[in-house]
Amino acid sequence: QVPFVKAVPKREKLLRDSKAAGLAGLVETLCRLVDWWRVQLQELLIRHGGVLDGARLQGQDLSKLGFARWSLRHADLSNCNLAVCDFSSAVLTDANLSGADLSGGNLIGATLTRANLRDAKLEGARLPPWSSGLMEGVQLTGATGWVPANKDLRNAKLTGANLSGCDLTGVDLSGADLSSANLQNVNMTNATLTHANLRDAKLQGACLPPWDSGLMEGVQLAGAVGWIP
């Protein structure tokens, strides 16, 4: 088992010596086990692209840092200040961003598959295109600022997403793929669900559009639970 190494100068020397000795695999493993701090990250992030999979960064002020094209799979960024950070084309699959402040950040092209964005602040953040499939399985319960100002989520690919408790009043979800999504207690009053895919979705407690409104024509509900009045 690889020992835990703190983010101090000795750690950097160990990583350099290990890499020089041809132990690149060990270096990558160590990078995943350390607690990184802003000063080390500033030096590391000068270059675009790299691996910080599983890095523990929780609770820090990392605002305005650039993570473009970095791999941050399973990284813990919970409760971090990530305002105005550049995550363009970064891989954040299964990353923990719960409670993080991502306001004004650039996440265009970022992979957010199954990322935990519970209670995150997303005001002004530039997210991947909703139809890109880069946000399937994302958790957005309690997150703020993510619903587009024009409420246009047409053809959004949010398979398996957790949107429980979210306010989607008046949002256009026509053609959206919300199959297997958790939509419990979601407010979808006057939302457009025309041809939306809600197969196997959880809809207990959800407020759906009036059944005679025409806003749910062509909707797919096979396997969905909790939608029958």
Q: Report mean pLDDT in 10-residue bins for the chain, 229 residues.
A: 37 57 54 55 61 88 91 95 96 98 98 98 97 97 96 98 97 98 97 98 97 97 96
CA distances from 172 to 34, 107, 155, 211 (A): 43, 22, 9, 16
Report CA torsion sign: 118, 123, 125, 131.
positive
How confident is the model at residue 7, as a pLDDT?
Answer: 41
Helices 24-33 and 9-20: angle between axes, nearest 10 degrees: 160
Q: Which residues contact 178 (CB under 8 A, 6 or more apart)?
A: 156, 158, 159, 161, 163, 196, 197, 198, 201
Name, in order, each residue with C-beta under 8 angstroms of 174's C-beta and a sequence gap of 6 or more: 154, 155, 192, 193, 194, 195, 196
Contact residues for 37 (Cβ-Cβ < 8 A; gap 6+): 7, 60
pLDDT for 56:
87
Spatial separation of the C-alpha atoms in residues 194 and 137, rounded to whole Å: 21
pLDDT at 134: 98
Q: Round the CA-based radius of gyration of the chain to a whole number and report it.
A: 20
Q: What is the pLDDT of residue 33?
A: 45
Q: Give the pLDDT confidence score for residue 158 in this predicted structure.
A: 97
Q: Which residue type is seen at 13?
A: K
Give Cβ neighbours of residue 56 (< 8 Å, ≥ 6 apart). 34, 35, 36, 75, 76
Helix spans in the chain (H): 9-20, 24-33, 38-44
Predicted local confidence at residue 122, as pLDDT = 98
User: In whole angstroms, what separates CA 61 from the centre of its chain?
Assistant: 19
Instruction: Give pTM, 2 decimals.
Output: 0.81
